[in-house]
Structure 1
């Protein structure tokens, strides 16, 4: 059942909803993932309600086009321009600052960086590289960083872990921390929970933070990140959710629900829809 149920009574001013993808819409896995029961219908109802909807993900194992194709294949009505992901945002950062990255990313994400100058790297950019996070590759990234006078480490997210169909899996933040420690540098995060990432999605919707709701499974990156810009955050008990999230020492979600279907049903019910 939903907790903090009275919170939904104050939802009449919500104009836009941001949805995390993995762990909220579907559980990922080797076979392409499976939609969480009720989530496809929930997204359809949400988009039919007249509320603005965007999908904010830290997915860096594939291109945005590939992700949209996968979501549509699972039945979700998602368009490319509705998805905010770290790779396109990182490309803007690289371009605006004339940075030439050494890339430690998943092979399927490399098409997002076509045309980016990677010669004579003056920074390191990492994403969820999965099996590419070998000792050899991490050591190569380390050597690039320590060889720079002013080392710059850019990380597409800072998650600790996420849920695959066969269990919890280490995320990019673990390797980001290793490079930070080894090189005595603080990474610049592109993606959740960076404030700029949430603000870009809100600007695209034309919605002020106080009128927006984030629905996610990650108490730190989804909920904490959203609340840091003045949004409200609702955590689902799917994906990477763990019971201790409900007693987190620093992040306190505005509410908890069992899944996205319950979140949407309660939100629309309290909006009189």
Structure 2
């Protein structure tokens, strides 16, 4: 994890921007093929489709419109399994996707570690979704783990921190974090709150050990690349839809995808674009606006999805 991640992942651009800098409609990066048809979509969820346990305006209509277009859901949240995520969407009244269409940073982490060391052993700090994915491809071994994996959620305490630190220093375990977000939004008893993300939870171990963790989730390429493989499409044929400039947008553009930001999550309509980050092809206040902007590029109801080749 580069030090800049810890800053960018919690960065909030100053509010009170001049009206001319506030985006209220479709924008395109100069020279970009905005009008190239869309063959596949990658969708972030929290802040794009819902807040807490409530769908955002236009989420149902958007998902209904793209039903015939290849798409996958990608999230940096490692806490839930794909089956749990699908059930959560259905409980909100949104279409229930097949679990195979849901890619989490926990899935990407497990598959990345299996490529590096088949049959790997691990010790994890995080909730059930992370441990479920690691168990699918590796074996838990708190005594001599190959990897110390940090996710999100309860479970970090002094004893587990000490164990993780000594696995890295004494056993040579590699430190891994599912995602670099230093803070994430949450709803508890109907009230908004901020929770520490993977980037914050891995920091004590990284500092104590003097090592840089391997980062898996957005904006790193692993999750994006896995999603494109799942769709059978090259990145250039896909559009990433997200709500965070530092993870969703920056990572997608770096990989050669097109990107669309909706300002219904962490990044709000009155905020200036962070100068250090590239701009997306589309920057809209919400999903209804984005759907209107993308409509000419989406297949009609009587069209089959384009051949991905």
Q: Give yes or no for TM over 0.5.
A: yes
* C-alpha distance after superposition, 1:89-142 (max 9, x if no partner): 3222333404311111114543333353122212201111x2323344333322
Cα 1:79–1:142 shift into 2, 3 Å: same
2:106 matches 1:82: no
1-side partners of 2:278 and 2:205: how far apart? Answer: 26
Alignment RMSD, CA only? 2.4
Q: Helix, strand or coil for the counterpart of 2:36?
A: helix
8 Å Cα contact 2:106-2:129 kept in structure 1: no
Cα 1:15–1:248 shift into 2, 3 Å: same
8 Å Cα contact 1:101-1:117 kept in structure 2: yes
8 Å Cα contact 1:162-1:239 kept in structure 2: no
1-side partners of 2:36 and 2:129: how far apart? Answer: 41
Which structure 1 residue ranges, 5 or more long, are not aligned? none
1-side partners of 2:275 and 2:195: how far apart? Answer: 21
2:197 matches 1:160: no
Cα 1:122–1:199 shift into 2, 3 Å: closer
8 Å Cα contact 1:11-1:267 kept in structure 2: no
2-side partners of 1:172 and 1:83: how far apart? Answer: 19
2:188 matches 1:170: no
* C-alpha distance after superposition, 1:208-236 (max 9, x if no partner): 22221111011111111111110011111
The partner residue of 1:259 within 264, 272, 286 is 286
Q: Helix, strand or coil for the counterpart of 2:140?
A: coil
The partner residue of 2:156 within 133, 136, 140 is 133
Give the C-alpha shift of residue 5 in structure 1.
5.9
Which structure 2 residue ranges, 5 or more long, are not aligned? 1-23, 301-309
Q: Helix, strand or coil for the counterpart of 1:11?
A: coil
2-side partners of 1:114 and 1:245: how far apart? Answer: 43
Aligned equivalent of 2:147: 123
8 Å Cα contact 1:9-1:270 kept in structure 2: no
Give the structure with higher Rg (CA). Answer: 2
Q: How many residues align?
A: 265
1-side partners of 2:257 and 2:210: how far apart? Answer: 33
2:259 matches 1:233: yes
Aligned equivalent of 1:212: 238
The partner residue of 1:94 within 109, 113, 131 is 113
Provide TM-score, normalisation by structure 2: 0.77
Q: Helix, strand or coil for the counterpart of 1:114?
A: helix
Q: Helix, strand or coil for the counterpart of 1:146?
A: helix
